[in-house]
Amino acid sequence: MIRTEEEARAYVATLADADAMARMATFAALVLEENQRQNLIAKATEPHIWQRHIADSAQLIENVSRETLGPNAIGPWLDLGSGPGFPGLVIAALCPNMPMVLVESRARRVEFLERCIAALDLRKCRVEGQRLERVTPFAARAISARAFAPLPKLLSLSAPFSTAATAYVLPKGRSAAQELEALKPSIRAMFHVKHSLTDPDAGIIVKA
């Protein structure tokens, strides 16, 4: 379990090379700076940004196959309701050669995400600054979402982007098991819950 900032940095370092760690440090600084102007993360979590937000996002790549992250996977990784970039921008910073699409409809957050993409030189990452319903569907290699929508709605909205090969990694906090249990059995059987490394009470709904 990752409980401290030091442990969080050490954990992310196991997933990142030196360049990726530098990108992550730059991104953390940009989030903290912008948080003084708009509410990106809770003020109480600012001193714990690596543990609560960066490591919490980075752990998602351990719940997909190497093929999903590789160059031959279908389409981009799709991150829904990206907000300040958790988890999508963190994953893009860890895997800069993998196409990433961030979906975010709030104009100020879109501007912030685009500024971060430029600052981190993430050439394969782009923002769709509109509601998901208006995004032209494409086949996604993976779909992630943090605090985007209840699970049934999330699955319905993301269905046009999902294929049999699409992975799902959905941080759902303490409601993960309950939300999964509420699905129809035929759909529920496709998913399972993994424990979060950053919160002993939180779960990640996974379809790998």
What is the CATH number for 142?
3.40.50.150
Domain count, the chain: 1
**DSSP type of residue 147:** S
Q: Containing domain of residue 164, as a range?
A: 5-207
pLDDT tens, the chain, 208 aa long: 999 999 999 999 999 999 999 999 999 999 999 999 999 999 999 999 999 999 999 999 999 999 999 989 999 999 999 999 999 999 999 999 999 999 999 999 999 999 999 999 999 999 999 999 999 999 999 999 998 989 999 999 999 999 999 999 999 988 898 999 989 999 999 999 999 999 999 999 999 8
Amino acid at 169: V
Nearest CA-CA partner of 183 in 204, 154, 145, 140: 154
Q: Which residue has the tokens 């309950």?
A: 178
Q: What pLDDT does 59 receive?
A: 98
